[in-house]
Amino acid sequence: MAALPSDFVWGFATASYQVEGAIDKDGRGPSVWDTFCKIPGKIADGSSGETACDSYNRTAEDIALLKSLGSQAYRFSLSWTRIIPKGGRNDPINQAGIDHYSKFCDDLLAAGITPFITLSHWDVPDELDKRYGGLLNRTEFPLDFENFARVCFKSFPQCKNWITFNEPWCSSILGYSVGQFAPGRTSNRDKSPVGDSTTEPWIVGHNLLVAHGRAVKVYRDEFKATNGGEIGIVLNGDATFPWDSSDPRDREAAERKLEFTIGWFGDAIYHGDYPASMRKQLGDRLPTFTPEEKALVHGSNDFYGMNHYTADYVRHKDGEPAPEDFAGHLETHPYNKNGDCIGPETQCKWLRPCAPAFRDLLKWLSKRYNYPKIYVTESGTSIKGENDMPLEKLLEDDLRYQYYDDYVKAMATASALDGVNVRAYFAWSLLDNFEWADGYETRFGVCYVDYKNNQKRYPKKSAKHLKPLFDSLIKKA
């Protein structure tokens, strides 16, 4: 069944801090993640991105690997502090960092692989955090990000596919409410001496939207005509089902969870303001867009970047929402009222495969935002116990193989039958890599990385499945 448009693009994705290593090479400055990893207890295995997959030193090897797997495109992120080590608009630019990424883009293109650049995948310059509170600063941060974006648009004209930020929900909630991600701020004083979970995540989300809007304006005003490409933001979001589908309160809660994760950013961009359910619960703790900010944010996506992994059953909560609540006053469960399970366990508590929910969410998004062009910029899974398996067993990653088979077919069905305008899909991830607070024990790669033996890469069964799978689904031109 050929169900995807003939110009559909697929490939693999990574992020700078998760794969590059070489943290001190060629003048790179520290990011908030370098600092966060040094705090004892923050990373499960006590590790950091210091060496990771050593991809900074192995660009030729990674490109050859991508090519061997048939990847048409590669989504990777830039390390801001390789390009501007201190990060700010009056700080020096590091030519070595620009040269590195420029050559990387050229080499990808020479191999027939289209680069998709994420400007910032969570590794905010540490200096900006120390200088003015980083993402918390409503005026300085957007201006510094705008400057960084301009440097990149100017330096990498061969790239036509631009993403401003990866998953602002994770930066805001995990970084400033839960404290599980850098910079680790939270009201929970067992975890951090600083932070206010009742206000900071909402401020950070707002500032990321404005920074995104500023970068998009620069791209459209100064580069789009010559570059001829596109720009957008990447949002994460799990699909939801009501725990008790006969209870309207659970049905509303399932919808509200989507609004608190996706609508928070998506509504601001496509509708010009935050969802009413968020305003209702958060009041003035949720910032209000000034007219200037609204003009920057509203309409600022050329495509919707969708990161999608899993689904939840959602149950309403009674009483008043807690001041630290960020989810919309609800609980998530792997089982519904009837005892049906959403999907099998993986190595991640938050992730259980449920492909039919992917189709549902593609439909929900399309309807809410008037059928935008969608690029699925990440999708993938970990496998329970994978890190402890012997190599032969681990390379037969049947659960991941099945995940991609089911998810990609669900997407193709949405494309063929639901009018969903989905045009690209990136598997997360090309390589096992530094899985943030989970360290290296949780693996998401379609290729195994042997960290004990010179980071040697081995394609797993899932890696080799994507090309034939997409070949069978993409219409011939």
CA gap 313, 334 in Å, rounded = 6
DSSP 222: I
Q: Which is nearer to ligand PNW, 56 or 444 (CB)?
A: 444
The active-site residue, picked from 127, 378, 386, 435, is 378
Q: Which is nearer to ligand PNW, 167 or 200 (CB)?
A: 167
User: Is 378 one of the catalytic residues?
Assistant: yes
Residue 351 Cβ, how far from ligand PNW at the closest point, in Å?
A: 7
Residue 332 Cβ, how far from ligand PNW at the closest point, in Å?
A: 10
Among 62, 129, 293, 435, binds ligand PNW (CB under 6 A): 435
CA gap 69, 284 in Å, rounded = 50
Instruction: Note whether 236 binds ligand PNW by CB under 6 A.
Output: yes
Instruction: Note whether 444 binds ligand PNW by CB under 6 A.
Output: yes
Instruction: Note whether 425 binds ligand PNW by CB under 6 A.
Output: no
Strand-strand pairing, 311-316 and 230-236? unpaired
CA gap 333, 297 in Å, rounded = 34
Output the residue with the shortest Cβ distance to ligand PNW. Answer: 350
Among 156, 428, 440, 448, binds ligand PNW (CB under 6 A): 428
Backbone φ/ψ region at 117: left (φ over 0), alpha (ψ -120 to 50), beta:
beta
Strand partners, 162: 117, 231
- Per CB under 6 A, which of residues 191..230 are in contact with ligand PNW? none
Residues 6+ apart with CB under 8 A from 133: none
CA gap 188, 185 in Å, rounded = 8
Instruction: Note whether 123 binds ligand PNW by CB under 6 A.
Output: no
Residues 6+ apart with CB under 8 A from 99: none
Per-residue binding letters, 150-189, with ligand PNW (x by CB under 6 A): ----------------xx--x-------------------
C-alpha distances in Å from residue 335, one per residue of 74, 174, 242, 250: 36, 24, 10, 14
Per-residue binding letters, 263-302, with ligand PNW (x by CB under 6 A): ----------------------------------------
- Of the candidates 88, 109, 112, 104, the one whose C-alpha atom is nearest the C-alpha of residue 155 is 104
Residue 476 Cβ, how far from ligand PNW at the closest point, in Å?
A: 32
Instruction: Note whether 15 binds ligand PNW by CB under 6 A.
Output: yes
Residue 428 Cβ, how far from ligand PNW at the closest point, in Å?
A: 5
Per-residue binding letters, 43-82, with ligand PNW (x by CB under 6 A): ----------------------------------------
Other beta carbons within 10 Å of 72: 17
The active-site residue, picked from 20, 127, 167, 200, is 167
Residue 6 Cβ, how far from ligand PNW at the closest point, in Å?
A: 29
Instruction: Note whether 383 binds ligand PNW by CB under 6 A.
Output: no
Residue 262 Cβ, how far from ligand PNW at the closest point, in Å?
A: 13
The position carrying tokens 């949720």 is 286
**Which parts of 78-169 fold into alpha helices (H)?**
80-83, 95-110, 126-132, 140-155, 168-169
Do the Cβ atoms of 335 and 268 come closer than 8 Å? no
**Which parts of 76-136 fold into alpha helices (H)?**
80-83, 95-110, 126-132
Binding residues with ligand PNW: total (CB under 6 A):
12
- Amino acid identity of 244? D
- Per CB under 6 A, which of residues 318..377 are in contact with ligand PNW? 350
Helices 140-155, 95-110: inter-axial angle, 10-degree rounding: 50
User: Is 386 one of the catalytic residues?
Assistant: no
Residue 76 Cβ, how far from ligand PNW at the closest point, in Å?
A: 11
List, in sequence order, every beta strand (DSSP E) within 350-455. 374-378, 422-428, 447-450
Residue 10, SS3 per DSSP: strand
Residue 166 Cβ, how far from ligand PNW at the closest point, in Å?
A: 5
- Per CB under 6 A, which of residues 298..317 are in contact with ligand PNW? 307
Residues noted as catalytic: 167, 378
Kindly list the residues in this chain that would bind ligand PNW in the complex (CB under 6 A). Answer: 15, 18, 166-167, 170, 236, 307, 350, 378, 428, 435, 444
